[in-house]
Structure 1
Amino acid sequence: MRVFENLDEFVAAAGTDLGSSDWVLVDQKRIDTFAEATGDHQWIHVDPARAAESPFGSTIAHGLLTLSLYPALMVQVYEVRNITMALNYGFNKVRFPSPVPVNSEVRMALAIGEVTTFDGGAQAVMNATIEIKGGSKPAAVIEPIVRYVK
């Protein structure tokens, strides 16, 4: 994990790779729990028998489930200390190039993109790629925007 002792250190690191998170299992229980939380019970996510006959050969995670892993994976990669708060400001881009089959492991590679400062803080466009272990294409390519307040 990369630790920035203050916001100035983080701002100075603009354009650098931060590393990767640990691998996280995306099992059927996680998929089903997400379906319950969101009301998205599409068969490709929650019906293993039917999904086995699909082109994917199994259930797959919801794209938004993959995206929702961002905060938990991010905190494994870096931390900015001595700030008042960090806020998720939104996303410039979210793409899902490859589905996440049930029982896959995913991790996130993260880099700091463009950083702009404002009175009392900074805003960073991050570059995140959620990878599938053994996969040839990423599960998600994301440009989250994070605001930090001193």
Structure 2
Amino acid sequence: MKEIFDAIIIGGGHNGQILAAYLTKAGLETLVLERRMEPGGGLCTEEVTIPGFYHNLHSYFLRWVPDLPWYKDLELDRYGARMIMPPVQAVTPFSDGKCLIFHTEEEKTLKNISYFSKKDADTYRDLLKRFQRMNEEIIVPETYS
């Protein structure tokens, strides 16, 4: 193994891997150190309760990842990476048997929320619009400035 690097990144989670990819793309010799046996950090899926039942222990709502600048900059699709978007992103079950379901398709999520409250569905729709604008105008530009 090489002994001298231009950059050493501690942590092989997705942020560390993104940074390493940018540095390597810029021509720097980069080393990523991860304490676990597998990289990925919060993106890892693990079998932690019963055999055959896998959990996403951290990140679970990643539907906008392919739209982020780093995903496009690093041309991950070119290397065979793809985001698998299951139709159901998250579920919150309640003791009365009802479930609040967040779908990949916003309209389905809004329909499910409206079973509980039309007002909440309208508020959620407004929140999504405001978040999208905030993401486009503030979060993404500031993250990559």
TM-score normalized by the length of structure 1: 0.20
Higher relative contact order (CA 8 A, sep 6+): 1
Q: For the pair shown, which has the larger CA radius of gyration, 1 or 2?
A: 2
Which protein has the bigger helix share? 2
Which protein has the bigger strand share? 1
